[in-house]
């Protein structure tokens, strides 16, 4: 009798749990649905902790890398997390791919700022290469460095190699002798006040580029992109976040080749997410308002080194002028599906960083090929099947 009663009460509590789970905003309504902005439980039932992230597809599995955020702090207290999935919906926590160091002398010591990690696979060296934005502990956002780490396995552990600013002593590959002569005349003392017309003009002509030439260019929010020919690029917010740089990586992806261009000088773009479709490069970025959302921007080019043309904000739907409350982080080309790309963004929660949310939305394309990101409360990968 006692067992019957306990069985009934167990059954009842299970029913109640399922009922509340189904009704709660915090649960995907149907298994398999991607619900932008809601809690996204991993296969252990815990909200995925991989912010400012990026995806990599390797050997039939997707790997999601991102920042491990704490309850109260956005600083790196753990390191870069890795999750794996075969279906893009159910994610298994693979643990810490790159751990911060307990050594206070390390550049990636616990408490540094380690943001927007991305991983790419190098076919030639068979190594997985991770790049990230690094700020040295206790120095705010002044270091503006890029860090790099490598591993023989997608999930890690990754071995930290080094960090630095980018391409010291090297000018953009599209800068002419005439452009260089103009830059050489710029005297910083004449441009101490920011945002005046003459300051803006001077920054476009290379005021900050020249300032940072010797030590290398600043690199904050960043992205990696591997092109069809196997060449890889590092795209980052440079020059005090005023200008984007697109820099080619070396053959082993572990350093820079020295070839780079500046994109949208003084445009104040960050959070670059880039993809290629039908031979055209598209890049979605944000403005620079810290953890607060702002209106997404979009650019296109026929050549990765430009020229890049700006287009209107691609977002459609409620809160479109604030990127639905998020900030771009990655665009994924879905394997095995025709013309399927997913726009990914973070809804930051600076007061409770671990509770930051993810926005994943399918990208739609207008007849002329222009991308559109339309808000959906929930969707599944069948979106593309049903479109056919």
Which three-class secondary structure state does DSSP give residue 262? strand
Separation between Cα atoms, residue 267 and residue 291, nearest integer Å: 18
C-alpha to C-alpha distances, 178 to 167, 170, 205, 210, nearest whole angstrom: 21, 16, 11, 15
User: Shortest Cβ distance from residue 129 to ligand GAL (Å)?
Assistant: 20
> Considering beta carbons, is residue 151 or 163 the nearer one to ligand GAL?
163
Q: Per CB under 6 A, which of residues 142..181 are in contact with ligand GAL?
A: none
- 127 or 145, CB closer to ligand GAL? 145
Locus of tokens 């809804």: 347
Nearer to ligand GAL, 58 or 291 (CB): 291
CA angle 240, 242, 243 (to 5 degrees): 110
Cβ 54 to ligand GAL shortest distance, Å: 12
Q: In what order do the strands lie in the sheet with 297-301?
A: 270-277, 280-286, 297-301, 309-311
Nearest one of 348, 347, 346, 337 to 380, comparing CA atoms: 337
Q: Does 239 sit near ligand GAL (CB under 6 A)? A: no
Is 52 a residue that touches ligand GAL (CB under 6 A)?
yes
Sign for the pseudo-dihedral over CA of 138, 141, 144, 148: positive
**What character string, x for contact with ligand GAL (CB under 6 A) and - otherwise, covers 100-139?**
---------------xx-----------------------
| Sole binder of ligand GAL in the list 35, 119, 235, 271 (CB under 6 A) | 271
How long is the chain?
388
Contacting residue, 11, 230, 290, 317, with ligand GAL by CB under 6 A? 290
Candidate list 163, 217, 327, 380; residue touching ligand GAL; CB under 6 A: 327
Contact between 288 and ligand GAL per CB under 6 A: yes
Q: Which residue ranges make up the site for ligand GAL (CB under 6 A)?
A: 52, 115-116, 221, 270-271, 288, 290-291, 327
């Amino acid at each position: 009798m006692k067992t019957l009663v306990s069985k009934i009460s167990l059954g009842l509590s299970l029913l109640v749990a399922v009922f509340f789970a189904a009704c709660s905003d915090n649960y995907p309504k149907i298994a398999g649905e991607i619900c932008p902005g809601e809690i996204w439980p991993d296969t252990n039932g815990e909200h995925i902790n991989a912010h400012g992230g990026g995806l990599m597809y390797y050997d039939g599995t997707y790997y999601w890398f991102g920042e491990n955020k704490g309850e109260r702090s956005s600083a790196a207290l753990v390191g870069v997390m890795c999750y794996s999935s075969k279906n893009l919906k159910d994610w298994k926590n693979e643990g810490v791919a790159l751990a911060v160091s307990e050594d206070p002398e390390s550049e990636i010591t616990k408490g540094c700022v380690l943001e927007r990690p991305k991983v790419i696979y190098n076919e030639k060296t068979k190594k997985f290469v991770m790049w990230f934005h690094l700020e040295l502990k206790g120095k705010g956002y002044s270091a503006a460095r890029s860090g790099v780490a490598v591993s023989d396995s997608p999930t890690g552990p990754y071995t930290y190699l080094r960090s630095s600013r980018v391409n010291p002593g090297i000018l953009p590959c599209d800068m002419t002798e005439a452009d260089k002569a103009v830059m050489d005349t710029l005297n910083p003392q004449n441009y101490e006040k920011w945002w005046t017309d003459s300051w803006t003009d001077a920054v476009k002509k290379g005021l900050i580029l020249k300032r940072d030439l010797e030590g290398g260019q600043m690199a904050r929010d960043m992205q990696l992109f591997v092109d069809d020919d196997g060449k890889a690029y590092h795209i980052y917010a440079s020059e005090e976040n005023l200008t984007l740089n697109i820099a080619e990586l070396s053959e082993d992806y572990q350093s820079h080749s020295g070839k780079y261009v500046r994109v949208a000088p003084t445009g104040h773009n960050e959070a670059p997410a880039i993809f290629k479709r039908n031979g055209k490069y598209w890049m979605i970025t944000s403005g620079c308002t810290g953890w607060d959302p702002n209106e997404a921007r979009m650019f296109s080019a026929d050549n990765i080194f430009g020229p890049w043309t700006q287009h209107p904000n691609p977002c459609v739907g409620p809160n479109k002028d604030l990127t639905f409350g998020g900030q771009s982080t990655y665009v994924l080309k879905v394997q095995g599906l025709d013309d399927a790309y997913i726009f990914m963004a973070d809804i930051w929660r600076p007061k409770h960083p671990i509770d930051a949310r993810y926005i994943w939305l399918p990208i739609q394309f207008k007849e002329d090929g222009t991308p559109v990101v339309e808000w959906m409360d929930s969707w599944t990968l069948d979106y593309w099947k049903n479109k056919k």
